[in-house]
Every structure is written in structure tokens, then in C-alpha cells.
Amino acid sequence: MATTSTTQTLSSPSTQEQPRTGTWDGGNEPFKASYGKLMMWFFLLSDAFTFAAFLTTYGLMRHRHLAYTGTNEAFEFSTAYWPIPDKVFNAFPGLHGIDLPLGFVALMTMILIFSSVTMVLAVEAGHRMDKKDVQKWLLWTILFGITFISCQAWEWSHFIAGTDEGTLMEDGTRFFGANLQRNQYGPVLFADLFFFITGFHGTHVFSGICLLIWSFIATTNGTFEKRGHYEMVEKIGLYWHFVDLVWVFVFTFFYLV
């Protein structure tokens, strides 16, 4: 505790410089939010536009193609119509050949929601200036983030490798799995949109993990403690919740609907 108080007294910026009070020199905080947090909100808004463009494209392309009209039991993969997601995403690691519709993606959703919870807990610990708790919850968040992205890696490799049976394509050959030009599940764009939407989301998770690791190191070094607040953890938290939020929408529009 002795070290804490020394670092606190050494650096209180308000005593070293005149506080800014004028309207045009930073004295006013628009919306009563700090500059950094406000800019994070606007960045997330612009990022939401990109994801919305992806999901809107998915909606457009799905309605542009024919829908499958038969019963769920009689469903077969065909390039003629858009596949039912339950039939595409029904595999679980270690349980080969067992039909578990959306089982793995349910697990991934839970992991990401849980990582969001540990992130709020880290932000809450930051408000209390509790360095140990911030470290603990940041580590949990990093762990869940890495678990999520590993699950996605498995899902991608399974999607690319395909099912045992493959699908008889229009040109009479049997095709397994997916690439950007052909896929066994449905129209070409189905796999393309899968790669782009989940890939773009995964990239966001990856950069989130990098930011979290950096903030864990900074917390451990006492950077935020010296600064007197953990606002950086809060801003990274906003980004991390946004990634979770996007997954909620990807989950609905790609896997459920």
C-alpha cells in the first residue's frame, strides 16, 4: 500500500497545470463523456455500419436466391437453394457423425457472453482502483476470447473440409466442403458470406484480444494506477462489448433465421 500512495502523490496532473475551463480549450465535455470514450463510441458506430452492410448483404442475397421449401427431415444440400443453417452447422468437436444442430455455436455464444461479463467485472474493479481484481478479470476475458477464436478456427476448418458424403454438384462431380468459388452447402455466396462475416468478426475478436493483453501488461506495470484512473480498460471494454453485440446479431441472422 505504501507504493500506491507514493505513486498517487507523485502524479496528480491537476496540481501541475491550470485546469481547463474555457469552452474551446477542452473545458467542456460534450455529452459529459471524456474525449476518449466519446471517440470510441463514434468508432463503434462506424464499425456498426460495416457490420450492418455485411448483414444487409446477407439478407439481400438470401432473398435473391430460392428458399428451401420441403420438410426439415428431407433436406439435402443443393446449389439450387439457400441451405437451412441447422443442417450446415451441426457438428461438434470430438463427436463426429452426430447431428447436433447449432450445438457448437451455442457454446461459442455462451463463451462470448461470459467474456463480456468478465470484462464488465474488470471495468468495475477499475472504478474501485482494485489492481488485483482488474488483472484477474482481464486474464479471464483474454482466456475466454482466445477460447472463442479457437472455436471459430475449428468451425472454419470443418466448414472448409466438409461432410463425409459431400454433395453431388451440377456438373456431376462430388464436392466436399467450401472455398470462395464452390461449396457443397448451397449457392456460392452462402460460403462467401460465411467467410467474410464470421471472418471480419473474428478479426475484431483478435484485435480485442491484443488490446486486452496490452492493457493487462499496462495494469501489471501500474500505468493506470499512476494515471489515477482505469479509463483505458473502460474504453477497451466498450470495444469488447461491441464485439459481443455484433456476435448476437451474426448469431441471429446467420445461424437462427
Partner 1 sequence: MAQHSSNQPPQLGEIPKPNTGWIWKTFWVLVGITALEFVFVFLMDPGTLRNTIFIILTIFKAFFIVAEFMHLKHETKGLIWTILIPMGLLIWLLVALVSEGSYVGESIQNALN
Q: Which residues bind partner 1 (CB under 8 A)?
A: 1, 4-5, 8, 30-33, 38, 41, 45, 48-49, 52, 55-57, 59-66, 72, 84, 86, 101-102, 106, 109-110, 113-114, 116-117, 119-121, 124-125, 127-130, 133, 228-229, 237-238, 241-242, 244-245, 248-249, 251-252, 256-257
CB of 211 to partner 1, least distance (A): 16
Q: For residues 125 and 137, is the Cβ–Cβ distance under 8 A?
A: yes
Between 177 and 237, CB nearer to partner 1: 237
Between 62 and 204, CB nearer to partner 1: 62
Cell numbers linked to 53 = 452492410
CB of 157 to partner 1, least distance (A): 24
CB of 185 to partner 1, least distance (A): 17
Q: Residue 32: left if φ>0, alpha if ψ -120 to 50, beta else—which one?
A: left
Between 24 and 31, CB nearer to partner 1: 31
Between 102 and 146, CB nearer to partner 1: 102
CB of 174 to partner 1, least distance (A): 26
Between 177 and 187, CB nearer to partner 1: 187
Residues 95-104 as b or e (16 or more Cβ within 10 Å = b): eeeeeebbeb
Between 110 and 161, CB nearer to partner 1: 110
CB of 228 to partner 1, least distance (A): 6
CB of 63 to partner 1, least distance (A): 3
What is the distance, to the nearest Å, from the Cα of residue 28 to the centroid of all Cα atoms in its chain? 33
CB of 9 to partner 1, least distance (A): 9
**Geometric angle at alpha carbon 209, from 49 and 107, rounded to 5°:** 80
Between 2 and 172, CB nearer to partner 1: 2
